[in-house]
Structure 1
């Protein structure tokens, strides 16, 4: 795919974008009522789709095998690590932690092309644990579809049903429906959901639009639980990035000294695109992809396989953190470790 069809962010960074509204998890972690906790978890799930509304102009870069990304946000109370753990099939794993929650997932997607549109079907389960209550929430993701993919009038929608369960308790569960748009109906991006007790009785009703806001209750007296942040000035000229997305690729000298050379911020083709140098970005993108093919060939010739550094495969066949990243970052420091040359 030519580089001009990309945006200067990476799939690993897009996973971190799902934490833009992590304060909803903090609120859940400080809420005694289990039905209200589920309401905040459900709202967090919906909020993770909000940034995609303005982002139909470009596709995130595909991470190369072994690529990593960290996001340490003491101002938000969490730190995040992601790694591309598999190339065939492509699997991106991530893990975020704070004093209030742990968030993790590994993402595998199936793409379906329908002429003028492309469907992205995630095959994964997202996990959030709240240590204070011993809660372990799990949920699936809905299908995303980019319409008019070959024209400048692209638009994105998400549709399907999400089921959120707490595997530590059967007190409640939640179902959220992302409603598929009808061409004769001007209502788009609508979501509705219910938090139910163990017998299926509705405790909370949720409704709203995934790119705007989510409400709990019945109109007109419903309470707004979440509203999307306002967009930065001139966001249309910068790939439709939110303020949080813009911050994901920042690289100051003090941070650069701490990062492994595999961190996405070091990726030359992506940085060149961010700087507007399309011609050189295209050359570098092809070089990065060729390096990946060369590394794969060497592995095959030696009858060996790639071993991720910071994630391991669990008994359930998903990828989970091995909890070494932040300790190694501190001692001995990534500058004293061996990493493959990715770019």
Structure 2
């Protein structure tokens, strides 16, 4: 009977252990955490729990069988003890009973070990689960806090815009420019502008409009004997150039953008601080143009440079060049969608000699970091080239896009060579609210022949500023540092220039800062934005030029962006097929890189092979040292237009 009691105790322990194991399964099932865990985490968790459940069921079944057969064996042995059997048989029975006892002891030890393991695993499992639950709760709390802050930020903006007494159009008879303002003067701006470096020794200026008949002798020195009337034919109404009907009929519309709703924050919240070009993004956030085509859009107001060719004064020419540099941002005001990242070796040509008097070629010369080389030749007497590398970071509330690289512009007749760099673009309201874009920072344009300079400042938008939104201010100075023109306007609408006839220091303010007062003649319009096409809001807010960039053309290189299949499918509205095709192209690009890495590894070490695999040899551009900036940059080496004329594209890589 004692043996039966031991086996019954083992059965009870087994039953309790089974109950505890089932409880352990339920505690680790993570039902309460399904909403906070990511799909990948939940899938892995469910598979692990399912596997553990099957093993625990097997152990429970074995435990029940051991208890059942052990109890039956003990009963049989007890029955044999009551029978009258010969001495020899009793000895054998005694040996069997001893073996059964040893088996019972071993089984009890195994069950006890399983119970101890279960208790230990259960204790640590609860601790791990509490730690995981805490981390998940902290993450959810952080997301809710950020979202709540964004909502309050949005409410504050609406309240400010609807506040009574706010001037609808805060224009003044004179303009007070915070040109190159210091950090102290920007203290009232929102925190999104904190990462823009301001110059400590910056100056400010005030412009006062005066009449041409007033005395122009400066108290502190005049700005130079430049005759204003000599520039009227060139500068006055420089952007009001009537558009000639194109000699080639171009398309004026594309299929309307499908009304697909997709939460950007659901994708971007896991990418804070990461490089945007390395984040796999669906085409739902794109527009049906590549970055190469967006770069070509900078030429929309090329007529400003055509006019600048005829300027006899370098400072007048600088005004038009500055207006051209600002005009390139006018296409971005409503364009919050992301252009396609070009494939390595992808090209885009714009052959418009008859319509625009120019030819443009872009090539993607690097994938990480993404970099594009661009060269433009105009038959009107100028050429432009640049290599732009895009650095972008998602910072939680906003996305900052920082173009790196110098832009060169040269006029053949005069030899004037201008160099400048692009400003920073910022996309706001990533979490909550309507997306909007802002341009901020300083641009310095330098004429390396005459040493003329133009300092442009893109003022960041502020809820509390009295200035007009998207304001741009600037001053054009000659090689001796004397100011000749004041520039003002907005990067999304127009730019004006006013000739300076007198300059003097103002009275010091309460904080001891002093501004320069410029007396100017009435301003003249340099550039004005073209109106958008009809139904532009349903066509990604494309301009007339942008609508034609992805139009199919015969004779282009097989690497041209117009032939990119995922971009073409997206333009037609087939976004699901476009996403599938985009994944195929990206995988094909990864395979090509692995092949380059394998080819390099045969002749050099692993580290050198890694560098070689990332060093792509462009087809139409080559790396050269820029003598003006001291940087290595890709410069057009020729051959593309000759290859197009002969239709010899055998050297082009197969990227699509």
Distance 2:651 2:371 in 1: 23
1:328 aligns with 2:643: yes
Distance 1:33 1:220 in 2: 18
Bigger CA radius of gyration: 2
**Conserved 8 A contact 1:161-1:177:** yes
Cα 1:5–1:150 change in 2 (3 A) is farther
Distance 1:20 1:48 in 2: 8
**Conserved 8 A contact 2:314-2:450:** no
Instruction: Give the strand-richer structure, 1 or 2.
Output: 1
Displacement after TM superposition at 1:145 (Å): 0.3
Taking structure 1 as the reference length, the TM-score comes to 0.95
**Conserved 8 A contact 2:370-2:389:** yes
CA-to-aligned-CA distance 1:173-224 (integer Å, 9 cap, x gap): 1111001111223621100011111222210110001000001117893111
Distance 1:153 1:125 in 2: 32
Q: Which residue in the other structure is 1:63 paired with?
A: 342
Q: How does 1:122-201 map to 2 (within 5 A)?
A: 122-151=403-432, 153-170=434-451, 172-185=452-465, 187-201=468-482
**Conserved 8 A contact 2:619-2:652:** no
Distance 2:442 2:644 in 1: 39
1:244 aligns with 2:545: yes
Distance 1:51 1:152 in 2: 21
**Conserved 8 A contact 1:259-1:334:** no
**Conserved 8 A contact 2:536-2:543:** yes
Q: How does 1:1-343 map to 2 (within 5 A)?
A: 1-56=281-336, 58-74=337-353, 75-99=355-379, 100-151=381-432, 153-170=434-451, 172-185=452-465, 187-217=468-498, 221-251=522-552, 255-256=553-554, 258-303=555-600, 305=613, 306-316=616-626, 317-331=632-646, 333-335=647-649, 337-343=650-656
Distance 2:285 2:648 in 1: 33
Cα 1:175–1:188 change in 2 (3 A) is same
Distance 1:200 1:219 in 2: 17
Q: Which structure ranks higher in relative contact order (CA pairs < 8 Å, sequence separation ≥ 6)?
A: 1
CA-to-aligned-CA distance 1:246-302 (integer Å, 9 cap, x gap): 111111xxx32x111100000000000000001100100111111100100100000
CA-to-aligned-CA distance 1:93-147 (integer Å, 9 cap, x gap): 1101012211111111221222020111111110100001001100011111000
> In structure 1, the residue corresponding to 2:368 is in which secondary structure?
coil
Q: Which residue in the other structure is 2:143 paired with?
A: none
Distance 1:130 1:150 in 2: 45
**Conserved 8 A contact 2:304-2:320:** yes
Cα 1:158–1:93 change in 2 (3 A) is same
Displacement after TM superposition at 1:149 (Å): 2.3
Mind listing any 5+ residue stretches in structure 1 that lack a counterpart?
Answer: none
Distance 1:79 1:297 in 2: 35
Displacement after TM superposition at 1:330 (Å): 1.3
CA-to-aligned-CA distance 1:299-329 (integer Å, 9 cap, x gap): 0000054321100000231011011111111
**Conserved 8 A contact 2:384-2:409:** yes
Q: How many residues align?
A: 335
Instruction: Give the helix-richer structure, 1 or 2.
Output: 2
Cα 1:324–1:224 change in 2 (3 A) is same
Distance 1:144 1:220 in 2: 33
Distance 2:462 2:285 in 1: 28
Displacement after TM superposition at 1:29 (Å): 0.9
**RMSD across aligned C-alpha pairs, in angstroms?**
1.4
Q: List 4+ stretches of structure 1 deviating above 3 A.
A: none
Distance 1:30 1:15 in 2: 26
Distance 1:92 1:29 in 2: 27
